[in-house]
Amino acid sequence: MRHRRGRPSLGPVTSVLWLRRDLRRRDLPALGAATEATADRTVLPLFVVDPALAGGAGRARLDALREALTAAQESFDGALVVRVGRPEDVVPQVVREAGAGSVHVSGETTPYGRRRDERVAAALRDQDVPLVATGSPYAVTPGRVRTSAGDPYRVFTPFSRAWREHGWRGPAADPPGVRWVRRVESEALDDALGTDPGAGAPAEAASAGAAHDPATPAGEATALEAWAEFLDDGLAGYADHRDRPDLEGTSRLSTALKLGTVHPRTLLADVAAHPAAGTEGARTFVTELCWREFYADVLWHAPGSAWADWRDLGLRYDDPAADPDAAAALDAWRVGRTGYPFVDAGMRQLLATGWMHNRVRMVTASFLVKDLHLWWVHGARHFMTHLRDGDLASNSHGWQWVAGTGTDAAPYFRVFNPVTQGRRFDPDGVFVRRWVPELRHLPGARAHEPWTTPDGDAEGYPGRIVDHGAAREEALARYRDARG
């Protein structure tokens, strides 16, 4: 693949802007490169629905993609072409139809994305058309931040320091004089992505609290509106409120970052220019962006780390495929019927909305691995299926952090207590009652321990499937055995 310094010579031909994780019009370096590559500045924006990726996505992720593509169609003045098929087949075909002389992309960093781009580049070479990568979905492209010895970082804190010292460019300027190509046929989104947006959430989860839960914006315009509101109302208090699922203390931009409808470089520039830039809230927000970049860097250097974690191979996990009790526990966790309200509220929020608060993600993940003794991959796959913001690097490495394995893992002996976590971060039980209607008759913090109240199960809430204290001791014993 050729990078920007190898840009093809100017000519009176169209260039193709192949969008992937960069479904936006602003702050898009690849658009500038595509515009500059032709004498008359004509560009054809293209998105390819890749069956290899779309086939593994749940309804929530496809709905988010639909929203982002609908917004992108408007941003690109109706010129966005959508096609379905293998990119190595579709991209060369669109190049022929458009008479294009180059294809421009934001550089890809995931294992599959890198392999895919190599296949497309090889197919385009047969037409003497280069695939030109400019920029990436990250403020600092994975692989660039290294130790003084030239090695990748394996621990977050030193990576964070080096990442900040490295710095990043400002947002890319909007290229003037772009002319859109409109002579290439596009498929309708309903045909490309299916016609049943929002289908698939269990009725119990969908009816619980979704009507009161704000959506995570996916399209560029709505994401920027949400960002502007967060800057004014949420940034300064972010450090204090980000762990409270009962409050609106987060930016909810994870879906927009995943789809690239906003770029982290834009967010960092806005934070730096904001009056609250010097607050603890602003510093914490930048650190959270850095976690996303760290996990992408880990995946860049260790492509196999997404699903295969060598450090947990010695652990003894229960097997849902062979153990009926383990299978039942996994099913109860998936649908939010474990008997632990804070866990169940989060799992139902996920099924109903395609999103879960980050603090609750950690608690539900800990419960699966250290209370139910199930392999973290079962949970990571469930999350990737149902999350609107399902990001391979952040999801898989976040799960490994909770499991106490992998790069920069939390200590293996850290086991989140679902009751303590609920009382601390949802002190009045607001979040639990929003998503677990069977507990709405219990006031205040009583909703976190319904088994202590005579009528706690009066509305059908299930009993606890495990005893947390005993499960914790069992988990610690297994970890000690695995460590020799």
Distance CA 246, CA 428 (A): 9
Q: 427 in helix, strand or coil?
A: coil
Catalytic residue among 358, 449, 459, 474: 358
DSSP code, position 462: P
186-215: pLDDT as tens digits: 999 888 888 655 544 555 555 555 555 667
Catalytic residue among 36, 97, 118, 288: 288
Answer whether residue 284 is part of any domain. Answer: no
Answer whether residue 316 is part of any domain. Answer: yes
Catalytic residue among 18, 163, 291, 300: 291
Of residues 308, 300, 292, the one with CA closest to residue 376: 308
Q: Which residues are within 8 A (CB) of 454 and not within 5 positions of it... i.e. 6 or more apart? A: none
Instruction: Give yes or no for a contact between 297 and 142, defined as CB atoms under 8 angstroms apart.
Output: yes
For 336, left (φ over 0), alpha (ψ -120 to 50), or beta? left
- Residue 180 among the catalytic residues: no
Q: 480 in helix, strand or coil?
A: helix
Answer whether residue 242 is part of any domain. Answer: no
Cα angle 111, 116, 121 (rounded to 5 degrees) comes to 130
Catalytic residue among 333, 399, 401, 435: 399
Answer whether residue 445 is part of any domain. Answer: yes
Last residue of a domain, one of 104, 136, 168: 136
Last residue of a domain, one of 107, 136, 165: 136
Last residue of a domain, one of 108, 136, 164: 136
Residue tagged 């009176």 (tokens): 12
- Residue 417 among the catalytic residues: no
Answer whether residue 288 is part of any domain. Answer: no
Which structural domain range is residue 425 located in? 310-479
Number of domains in the chain: 2
CA trace torsion 329, 334, 340, 346 (10° rounding):
160
- Residue 165 among the catalytic residues: no
Answer whether residue 419 is part of any domain. Answer: yes
Distance CA 36, CA 30 (A): 10
Answer whether residue 214 is part of any domain. Answer: no
CATH number for the domain harbouring residue 77: 3.40.50.620
Distance CA 168, CA 271 (A): 13
CATH number for the domain harbouring residue 439: 1.10.579.10
The pLDDT tens digits along the chain (484 residues) read 544 333 343 344 899 999 999 999 999 999 999 999 999 999 999 999 999 998 888 899 999 999 999 999 999 999 999 999 999 999 999 999 999 999 999 999 999 999 999 999 999 999 999 999 999 999 999 999 999 999 999 999 999 999 999 999 999 999 999 999 998 999 998 888 886 555 445 555 555 555 556 679 999 999 999 999 999 999 999 999 999 999 999 999 999 999 999 999 999 999 999 999 999 999 999 999 999 999 999 999 999 888 876 566 678 899 999 999 999 999 999 999 999 999 999 999 999 999 999 999 999 999 999 999 999 999 999 999 999 999 999 999 999 999 988 777 777 789 999 999 999 999 999 999 999 999 999 999 999 999 999 999 999 999 999 999 999 999 999 988 887 7
Q: Which residues are within 8 A (CB) of 229 and not within 5 positions of it... i.e. 6 or more apart? A: none
Distance CA 138, CA 168 (A): 9
Strand-pairing partners, residue 3, are 133
Task: Tell me the whole-structure pTM to 2 decimals.
Answer: 0.92
Give 437-443 contacts, CB < 8 A, sequence gap 24+. 437/207, 437/208, 439/341
- Residue 395 among the catalytic residues: no
- Residue 307 among the catalytic residues: no
Catalytic residue among 163, 227, 375, 376: 376
456-481: pLDDT as tens digits: 999 999 999 999 999 999 999 998 88
Q: 136 in helix, strand or coil?
A: coil
